[in-house]
């Protein structure tokens, strides 16, 4: 059905220990625009995770024993194949997830950026020699791969979320067993296909599509051969994994939910702020963990900002039309959540300035709500949809308190021209990332991640490799002369 230049990238079997294996049970993968089944993918059981972990456990020491340069060369070849096949990968991604094709292509290149970055970083996993505490001692610190890693990824970035985990893990010398979201397994399988073509040794990577997320999650937590779990998804599932992983004190990296504030002060460039707000709020139809969830606008410019925002939002092309800019939501449950947030806000006094309704299929009209208050559900819950919720504020102190009044701490955004205020805000916001006069912050060059209940660990930058290495300290006594 998909017009791919290389149809073999549409792989529907599981990738276990270097082999493509079909399972009897199938997952129906649906296109969120049409609702039609576009592929049937092998549905792996928890026993497949056990098998994949065994194979990874055998392969990992061999992979780790390669030189850093050899692992870097593999990552570079893999990166090049991803870029060469970006058009096909984007088509597959849009077909299973629904985001606009241009956004899908950007995601493929964004994911490839992490692979290129960690191809470079693989060669820089340096140890240390410390000044000793005694003249007859020599102290060394080794940085060694943690071992076999279990990766669990969500549906909203079917390519980049898995690339962000595989690249640093493989660079560090780990082997990975990955479970993509059941809604969007095709992009990860295509990445696995390209990894195989790039020469990744059998066993170092397995990709297990599955509807038994709970069973596979439990196997990851309980199998002692698997030493670390890297998860991106909801805070709720993050809590479950953390509790389950306690039994073996298993290492965890968690990229969880957010509740991003987007703050516009009265000295901001309003047109730039509106543009940044559209990018941050409506990218991926609002279905990203760094998406703006609460827009705080200072009193004196509130109405001017809202007028510009509503005008811009009304122009966004959406619905089942060619080249839509705002794609469908992933599921009926996602639509129900957005509808509930609109109904709750309106019942408590919010004003609906545009949108607010479901369109054909799983599309939802881009929406602006004003006169929002802290009593409304959306002030504490991530809507994960195309809802722009505008709150008023008067003072810097008030907006800092409101922005931090959440269990989450992932992304935040500030628009102002005052350099002193920029510094104060960067330091005061209790969020792992701050966008200053920009609504786009994600890059492989920087450490992506949250504080508070938004997660543990970082992805990207030189810090991202730390999640996949253990420090080992060696204390060596020598005979002094």
Asked if 82 is part of the footprint of ligand ADP (rule: CB under 6 A), the reply reads no
Name which position in 233, 385, 409, 450 contacts ligand ADP (CB under 6 A).
Answer: 233
Per the residue annotation, which of 255, 371, 382, 444 is the catalytic one?
Answer: 255
Stretch that binds ligand ADP, among 18-26, 168-176, 210-218, 299-307 (CB under 6 A): 210-218
Of 122 and 216, CB closest to ligand ADP = 216
Stretch of 146-154, 398-406, 448-456, 469-477 contacting ligand ADP, by CB under 6 A = 146-154
Smallest distance, Å, CB 215 to ligand ADP?
Answer: 8
The C-alpha atoms of residue 211 and residue 336 are separated, in whole angstroms, by: 22
- Considering the complex, state which of residue 211 and residue 404 has its C-beta at the smaller distance from ligand ADP: 211
- Are 185 and 30 a contacting pair, CB within 8 Å? no
**Helix, strand or coil for residue 136?**
coil
- Paired tokens of 79: 């990166």
- Answer whether 92's CB lies under 8 Å from 190's CB: yes
Which residue, 207 or 399, is less far from ligand ADP as judged by CB? 207
Structure tokens at 301: 């410019």
Interacting residues of 442 by C-beta distance below 8 A, sequence separation 6+: 110, 290, 448
Task: Give start and end residues of each alpha helix (H) in 153-202.
Answer: 160-172, 186-197
Distance of CA 252 to the CA centre of its chain: 15
Is 381 a binder of ligand ADP (CB under 6 A)?
no
The only residue of 29, 56, 151, 152 in contact with ligand ADP, by rule CB under 6 A: 152
Q: Please report how close the Cβ of residue 165 comes to ligand ADP at its closest, in angstroms.
A: 12
Residues 170, 153: Cα–Cα separation, whole Å: 16
Q: Considering only the stretches 44-52, 89-97, 179-187, 336-344, report the one whose residues sit in contact with ligand ADP under the rule CB under 6 A.
A: 179-187
Q: Residue 135 CB, nearest distance to ligand ADP (Å)? A: 52
Stretch near ligand ADP under the rule CB under 6 A, chosen from 185-193, 200-208, 232-240, 405-413: 232-240
- Shortest spacing between CB 347 and ligand ADP, in angstroms: 25
Among the listed residues 113, 203, 217, 432, the single contact to ligand ADP using CB under 6 A: 217
Cβ of residue 97: shortest distance to ligand ADP, in angstroms? 12
Residue pair 12/189 in contact (Cβ under 8 Å)? The answer is yes
255 is catalytic: yes
Q: Do residues 181 and 153 lie in contact, with contact meaning Cβ atoms separated by under 8 Å?
A: yes
Near ligand ADP by CB under 6 A: residue from 234, 339, 380, 437 = 234
CB 327 within 8 A of CB 32: yes
CA distance 463 to 230: 15
Q: Is 214 in the site for ligand ADP (CB under 6 A)?
A: yes
Single out the segment in contact with ligand ADP by CB under 6 A; choices: 65-73, 80-88, 196-204, 229-237: 229-237
- Nearer Cβ to ligand ADP, position 237 or 425? 237
Of 74-82, 153-161, 263-271, 397-405, the segment contacting ligand ADP by CB under 6 A is: 153-161
Tokens of 344: 């709750």
In whole angstroms, give the CA distance from residue 316 to residue 464. Answer: 35
Q: Which of residues 300-339 bind ligand ADP (CB under 6 A)?
A: none
Residues 356/389, Cβ–Cβ less than 8 Å: no
The helix/strand/coil state of 207 is strand
289 is known as an active-site residue: yes
Query: Are 479 and 265 within 8 A, CB to CB?
Result: no
Interface pick for ligand ADP out of 2, 21, 51, 213 (rule CB under 6 A): 213
Of 162, 165, 175, nearest in space to 71 by CA: 175
Query: With binding defined as CB under 6 A, does residue 246 bind ligand ADP?
Result: no
Placement of tokens 């420090």 in the chain = 471
* Interacting span for ligand ADP (CB under 6 A) from 18-26, 46-54, 235-243, 443-451: 235-243
Query: Is 150 buried (19+), middle (13-18) or exposed (0-12) by CB count in 10 A?
Result: buried
Grouping H, G, I as helix, E, B as strand and the rest as coil, residue 182 is coil
- Spatial distance between the Cα atoms of 413 and 434, rounded to a whole number of angstroms: 5
- Of these, 240, 316, 402, 441, which contacts ligand ADP (CB under 6 A)? 240
- Count of residues near ligand ADP by CB under 6 A: 15
How far is it, in rounded angstroms, from Cα 417 to Cα 265?
Answer: 9
- Residue identified by tokens 């505008």 is 390
Smallest gap from residue 38 Cβ to ligand ADP (A): 19
Between 276 and 385, name the residue whose CB sits nearer to ligand ADP.
385
Six-digit token string for 351: 């004003």
Measured from the CB of residue 332, what is the shortest distance to ligand ADP in angstroms? Answer: 13
Residue-level length of the chain: 481
CB of 296 to ligand ADP, least distance (A): 25
Toward ligand ADP, which CB reaches closer, 152 or 376?
152
Binding mask 97-136 for ligand ADP (x = CB under 6 A): ----------------------------------------
SS3 of 118, please? Answer: helix
Q: Do the bridges between strand 175-179 and strand 148-152 make them parallel or antiparallel, or are there none, so unpaired?
A: parallel
- Residues annotated as catalytic (active site), given as ranges: 255, 289
Residues found near ligand ADP in the complex (CB under 6 A): 152-155, 179, 181-182, 213-214, 217, 233-234, 237, 240-241
């Amino acid at each position: 059905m998909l017009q791919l230049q290389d149809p073999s990238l549409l792989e529907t079997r599981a990738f276990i220990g270097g082999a493509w294996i079909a399972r009897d049970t199938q997952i129906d993968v649906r296109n969120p625009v049409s609702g039609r089944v576009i592929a049937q993918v092998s549905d792996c059981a928890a026993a497949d995770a056990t098998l994949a972990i065994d194979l990874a456990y055998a392969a990992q020491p061999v992979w780790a024993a390669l030189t850093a340069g050899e692992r870097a060369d593999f990552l570079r070849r893999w990166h090049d194949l991803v870029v060469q096949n970006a058009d096909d990968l984007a088509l597959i991604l849009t077909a299973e997830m629904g985001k606009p094709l241009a956004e899908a292509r950007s995601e493929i290149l964004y994911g490839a950026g992490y692979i290129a970055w960690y191809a470079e970083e693989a060669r820089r996993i340096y140890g240390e020699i410390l000044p000793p505490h005694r003249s007859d001692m020599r102290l060394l610190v080794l940085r060694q791969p943690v071992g076999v890693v279990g990766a669990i990824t969500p549906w909203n970035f079917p390519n980049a979320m898995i690339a962000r985990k595989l690249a640093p893990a493989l660079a560090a010398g780990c082997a990975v067993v990955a479970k993509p979201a059941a809604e969007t397994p095709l992009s990860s399988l295509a990445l696995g296909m390209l990894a195989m073509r790039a020469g990744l040794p059998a066993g170092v990577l397995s990709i297990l599509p599955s509807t038994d997320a709970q069973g596979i999650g439990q196997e990851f937590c309980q199998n002692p051969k698997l030493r670390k779990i890297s998860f991106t998804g909801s805070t709720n599932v993050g809590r479950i994994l953390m509790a389950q992983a306690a039994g073996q004190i298993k290492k965890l990296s968690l990229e969880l939910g957010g509740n991003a504030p987007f703050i516009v002060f009265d000295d901001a460039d309003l047109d730039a702020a509106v543009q940044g707000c559209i990018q941050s709020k409506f990218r991926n139809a609002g279905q990203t963990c760094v998406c703006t969830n609460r827009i705080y606008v200072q009193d004196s410019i509130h109405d001017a900002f809202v007028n510009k925002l509503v005008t811009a939002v009304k122009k966004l092309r959406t619905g089942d039309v060619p080249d839509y800019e705002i794609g469908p939501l992933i599921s009926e449950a996602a639509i129900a959540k957005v509808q509930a947030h609109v109904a709750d806000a309106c019942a408590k006094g919010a004003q609906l300035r545009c949108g607010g309704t479901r369109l054909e299929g799983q599309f939802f009209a881009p929406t602006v709500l004003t006169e929002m208050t802290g009593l409304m559900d959306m002030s504490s819950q991530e809507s994960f949809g195309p809802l722009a919720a505008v709150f008023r504020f008067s003072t810097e102190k008030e907006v800092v308190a409101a922005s931090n009044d959440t269990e989450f701490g992932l992304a935040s955004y500030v628009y102002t021209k005052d350099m002193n205020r920029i510094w104060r805000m960067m330091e005061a916001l209790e969020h792992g990332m701050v966008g200053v006069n920009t609504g786009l912050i994600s890059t492989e060059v920087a450490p992506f991640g949250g504080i508070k209940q938004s997660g543990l660990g970082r992805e990207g930058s030189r810090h991202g490799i730390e999640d996949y290495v253990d420090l080992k300290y060696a204390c060596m006594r020598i005979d002094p002369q």
